[in-house]
Structure 1
Amino acid sequence: MDNDSELTSYDSISVEEYLAHIERPDSWNNLYERPSVLSHFPSFRGKNVLDIGVSSGFYTGYALAHGAEVTAIDISQAIIDRLTSQIQSPNLRLIGADITQPMPFLDSESFDYVICSLVLHYIKDWPPVLAELYRVMKRGGRLVISTHHPLNMYLYLKPKSYFDFKLVEDTWGERGPRPFNVHYYIRPLADTLRPIIQSKFKIVSIEEPLPDEKCNQVSPEIYKRLSERPGFLFIVLEK
C-alpha cells in the first residue's frame, strides 16, 4: 500500500461516521489527546498556525477562536469540503493536499505553530515530512506531534514481535452503528524517535501524560486504562 492510500484510509467510510467516532464525549481524542496537545501552546493570539491532518477541525476552530490565523491541510477532500461549509473566516485557509509530498504552496519560515495531531502513524517514511515542516516553520516556532504509543500498540494489537515495523489493519467504531477498518503503521519506540532525533528540530520534550480528573469524571474506565499505560506519545519540537 502506498502513502496516498494509507493517508486516505478513512475515505472508504463516510466522513460523518469517522467524525462520530472521534467526537464521542468519551473518546481518547476529547479526554486525553486534545488537552495534552493544547497544554504545549502558551497562546494562539496573533500566531500563524499550520494544522496538519485537520480531521474534525477541532484544532483549527480552537486556534481561530483564540486569535490565530490558520492554514489547515488534509488529504481527504471530503474533510476539506465539510470544513469549508462549516467555518467561514478570513483568517482560515483550507487546503486539500498530501503531506508526504513537497508543499510549495506554503512559504518558508511562515508558521509560529504547527499541530500534527494523530497523523504520522499513517505514514511510513517520516523524514521528508519533518523536513518540510521544518522548512515552513519560523525560527523559534513550535511543532507538537501526537502519535500512537508503541507500547500501547503492542499491548492492544498483540503483534508477533514488539519490534515489528509494518502496516496493520484495525477495526474502529465498534461501539457505533457500523464498525470500519483503518490502516496505520506500528513501529517500536526506537523507530518512532529516530527520525525525530535525526531531524533538524530541537527536542523540547517527549511526553507520556497521565489522564486528568475530567477524564475520570467522564469515564472511570478510560481513566483507569490510561493511568496504567500510555495511549499516545507526545513530542514537542522547536526550530
Structure 2
Amino acid sequence: MSNLPSSVSPDQFWDNRYINSRVDLERFWHQECENSNKIPDNREFKEIVDFFGDLNGARVLDLGCGEGRTSLFLAAHGANVTAVDISAVAVDRMNTFCRDCEIKNIQAMQSSALDLASLGQFDFVVGFMILHHIEPFEEFAKVLADTLKSGGKAFFYENNAFSDLLMWFREHIVGRLWIPKGGDDDEFPLLPAEVNLFRQYLNVDVIYPRMVFVQLFSQYILKGRLLTLSLEIDKWLFKLKFVRKYSYRQYVMLEKRKDEK
C-alpha cells in the first residue's frame, strides 16, 4: 500500500470506473449463474467452491464487490450474500440489477473494509483484488478476524509485491510514457508483511496458482507482442517451485480456528 497523496479520492476513482463499465451482468447471470449446478469457466470460482465447500444457506461477505459477478456466482449457489463496496455507483448498480432480476439473496451496501462490525459475522468472506487497497492493514486484519465466525474461511485473489524487479518497474515505468496504470493513485501491491499480519488471528495459506511474470513485460512494455512466447516462459517457470513466490498473482486463504469466537 501507499500513502502518496492523490488528486482523486478512491471512491471517486472507482465511481468513475464503474460509470463507464461495459460488464454485461445480465448475460453473466442468465448464461453462467442461473444453473446452480454449473460453475463458470473461472478457476478462482472453482477454487472458492473447493475451499469453502457447500455454499447453500451460508452467510457470505463479498468484500469490494465491484461489478458484482462474484456476488451473483455465490448467490446462484445458495449463499446469502452481503456485498460491500466503497463505490456508490457499484452498489446502486448491483441493487438495481438484483431488483430487476428478482434476486433475493444479495444485499449490496456502501461501506469501507474497516467498517464491518455492524454487519455481524460471516461463514465466509471473499474478495478479488481488494486487500492491497486497504489501510491501515494491521487494523483490517483484526476486523476481518472478528468478521469471521468460528471455523470461518476467507478467500482473496490478489496481486503480490514479492518481486523487487516487478515493483521497480511498477514504480518507475508503469504510468509513464505509453504504459498505462490501471489502479488508483493510493494502491500498492500486497506485501508479504501484510499477509503475515493475518497470522496473529487466523491460519494462513498462500498459493500461487500460476506464474504471472514475464507476460507482464509483454503486456505493458511490448503492447502484447511476444505474448505467446512470454506465456510459455511463465508456464516453464511455474514448474520451478522456488520461483512461484515471484508471481504477480496469489491466493490468500484464511481460516479462523474453531476454538475462537
TM-score scaled by length of structure 2: 0.65
Q: 1:54 aligns with which of 20, 43, 65?
A: 65
The yes-or-no answer on 1:86 pairing with 2:97 is yes
* CA contact 1:80–1:95 (8 Å) conserved in 2: yes
Residues 116 and 156 from structure 1, CA distance in 2 versus in 1: closer, same or farther, beyond 3 angstroms? same
Aligned pair 1:194/2:196, yes or no?
yes
Change (3 A) 1:157 1:32: farther
| CA spacing shift, 1:67–1:223, aligned 2, 3 Å | farther
Aligned to 1:23: none
3-state SS of 2:118 partner: coil
Amino acid at match of 1:139: S
Q: Deviations over 1:162-184 (max 9, x none)?
A: xxxxxx9858xx89xxx865331
**Alpha-carbon displacement from aligned partner over 1:95-147 (angstroms, at most 9, x marks no partner):** 101113x334212xx31110022101112321222212221211111011222
Q: Does 1:185 align with 2:188?
A: yes
CA 75–188 in structure 1, closer or farther in 2 if over 3 Å, else same:
closer
Shift of 1:64: 0.5
Q: Distance in 1 between matches of 2:45 and 2:231?
A: 15
In the alignment, what sits opposite 1:232? 249
CA distance change for structure 1 residues 157 and 18 in 2, over 3 Å: closer, same or farther? farther
**1:16 maps to what in 2?**
20
Shift of the alpha carbon at 1:34?
A: 4.6
In structure 1, what is the equivalent of residue 38 of structure 2?
none
Asked if 1:45 corresponds to 2:77, the answer is: no
Q: Which secondary structure does the structure 2 equivalent of 1:234 belong to? A: strand
Aligned mate of 1:99, from 113, 116, 124: 113
CA RMSD after TM alignment: 3.6
One-letter identity of the residue aligned with 2:116: M
Deviation at 1:159, TM superposition (A): 5.4
Whether the 8 Å CA contact 2:59–2:124 is kept in 1: the answer is: yes
Please tell me whether the aligned partners of residues 72 and 94 of structure 1 are also in contact (alpha carbons under 8 angstroms).
yes
- Within 5 A, what are the aligned runs for 1:57-68? 57-68=68-79
Q: Which amino acid aligns with 1:235?
A: V
**Does the CA contact (< 8 Å) of 2:137 and 2:194 recur in 1?**
no
Structure with higher strand content: 1
Please name the residue that 1:207 is paired with: 207
Q: 1:115 to 1:222 in 2, by over 3 A?
A: farther
Letter in 2 for 1:118: M
Relative distance call for 1:170 and 1:117 in structure 2 (3 A) is farther
Deviation (angstroms), 1:12: 3.8
Query: Which residues of 2 match residues 129-144 of structure 1 at below 5 A?
Result: 129-144=140-155
- The number of residue pairs the alignment matches comes to 206
- Which whole-Å CA distance do the structure 2 matches of 1:202 and 1:181 have between them? 29
77 and 226 in structure 1: CA distance in 2 versus 1, 3 angstrom threshold: farther
Question: What TM-score, normalized by structure 1, do the two folds share?
Answer: 0.70
Gaps of 5+ in 1: 21-29, 162-167, 212-218
Distance 1:70 1:148 in 2: 24
Partner amino acid, structure 2, of 1:194: N
Q: Which amino acid aligns with 1:105?
A: S
* 1:194 to partner: Cα distance: 2.7
